[in-house]
Chains A and B, each alone.
Chain A
């Protein structure tokens, strides 16, 4: 067991010393792996953050039911009862036009413009929170309410969020495809690098075979090199995407401030970062394995 460990440590050292002999080459390969991996991870983080933001807003979504101007009190009562009996409604509250104006005056700085208006232009309104947040049940509820008397308009506040959600799903699908394709590109890049190394070490491989080296002894340094390329590339990818997120956040924070929201892009979770490293290492190993198993390069 100890001998086995020493042997592996030896191979590791050998691979590292080969890397340091070709510093520029190693750097370029690792950088290309890093950039390739950074693209999908940045995309993932942006999508993930938007998704979190959207689901935050979505849970607050409600229907605004505006009544016609000049309706009578009985109409308000009828609607109230209808809403109480509707199974799709989770909760609702009524705001008459006087309260609404008061709220507007409290929340708005431009009071002079509002007080310059003669009369109250605001309608009475119900604010309804639906039980189910999926778009289908929301639109059914909307249709039910719009057909009632004395209701001028029903506005679904979350409609744009639903649309954004679809776009985000599309974005996620695109990200997965991109990740898959770039994964293949990585296998090609690393595989080709390993193939070149096999070629430059042809003499050593042949000699080792003649004097009794096992297949795994000959393959080990190449597999280690591949995995190490992947790991270094993964670390670079995380660094690059971290820098990009930092750079984005300067602007994102300003935009969010404009909307009175405290929002900034979060870096990926620790476990996901570790997963990224594991995947990139695995890709490196796999690429190397594929490369040395091709009949022409058979090591």
Chain B
């Protein structure tokens, strides 16, 4: 589904954020991207989500080479992904319902169909009773869950989350990891970047699936072994 072949990413005026990385992710896998802060986790996720293009090497998403795509077709490949951002990127000028409605509008889904999907997504993350609340009034964990609802409302085939448990306490974090595991179980490919080992061990203890780990160190892939 996603194949990286000797991928290098260098931002203008800085060192290589990702150096010569090769791996592949199959459909329905749950993959952790780990490493210290600054190891290139976010860059890797951006490369997967076709937000950044590689400086060298090829990124294949569903057998499409991201580097060779025209700028006008990039939006369409991005729609395959559900993104949970490190900083949530919630819109504070509208309520929870309308935050979740935005990706649907981009996909051209509006009206009753959209309303059903929005409520289903909010229900899945346990925020159905907060649909009229403004995001600023939500707790950190609730905001994170709202961001997840927004990411999954379009039923993406790949869910990408950057530090979804970053500054949450243990209980919230395990709640959210359970959510991701649930998506994996219905066949969604899930890629999670995390700097703490807690997330992995937590989910490991709750599931019997093998989860792949991509461990990055200063932009280099240290191992891509399946964790048992």
Contacts and interface: CB of A to CB of B under 8 A. Distances in A.
Given A6-B111, A7-B108, A203 B75 contact: no
Interface stretch (B5-13, B99-107, B201-209): B99-107
Interface stretch (B57-65, B76-84, B122-130, B169-177): B76-84
4 closest Cβ pairs, A-B complex:
A212-B78, A212-B79, A213-B106, A212-B75
A204 B78 contact: no
B102 A207 contact: yes
Contacts of B79: 211-212
Interface string A190-215: 00000000000001101111111111
Contacts of B110: 6-7, 10
A295 interface: no
Of the four ranges (under 10, 10 to 19, 20 to 34, 35 or more), the interface on chain A belongs to 10 to 19
Interface in B39-82: 49, 51, 72, 75-79, 81
Given A204-B93, A210-B78, A214-B72, 6 more contacts: A7-B108, A10-B110, A207-B91, A211-B83, A212-B106, A214-B75
Interface string A40-78: 000000000000000000000000000000000000000
Interface of A: 3, 6-7, 10, 203-204, 206-215, 217
A26 B107 CA distance: 30
B89 interface: yes
B102 A212 contact: no
Q: Which of A10, A207, A209, A217 has its CB near the most chain B CB atoms (within 10 A)? A: A207
Contacts of B76: 212, 214
A211 B103 contact: yes
Interface residues of B, number: 22
Q: Which of A7, A204, A206, A212 has its CB near the most chain B CB atoms (within 10 A)? A: A212
Given A212-B106, A214-B75, A217-B106, A207 B111 contact: no
Contacts of A209: 75
A141 B6 CA distance: 95
A248 to B, nearest CB: 46
A89 B101 CA distance: 81
Contacts of A206: 89
B110 to A, nearest CB: 5
Contacts of B93: 204
A212 B102 CA distance: 11
A231 B93 CA distance: 27
A203 B111 contact: no
Interface string B85-126: 100010101000000001101111011000000000000000
Contacts of B107: 212
B69 to A, nearest CB: 13
A208 B108 contact: no
29 contacts: A3-B108, A6-B111, A7-B110, A203-B89, A204-B91, A207-B91, A207-B102, A208-B102, A208-B106, A209-B75, A210-B51, A210-B78, A210-B89, A211-B78, A211-B79, A211-B83, A211-B102, A212-B75, A212-B76, A212-B77, A212-B78, A212-B81, A212-B107, A213-B106, A214-B72, A214-B75, A214-B76, A215-B75, A217-B75
A204 B81 CA distance: 18
A210 B81 CA distance: 10
A212 B72 CA distance: 10
Contacts of B78: 210-212
A146 B166 CA distance: 104
A215 B76 CA distance: 11
B91 A10 contact: no
B75 A213 contact: yes
Given A203-B89, A203-B91, A211 B106 contact: yes
A3 B108 CA distance: 7
B155 to A, nearest CB: 13
A73 B51 CA distance: 104
A208 B81 CA distance: 13
A207 B105 contact: no
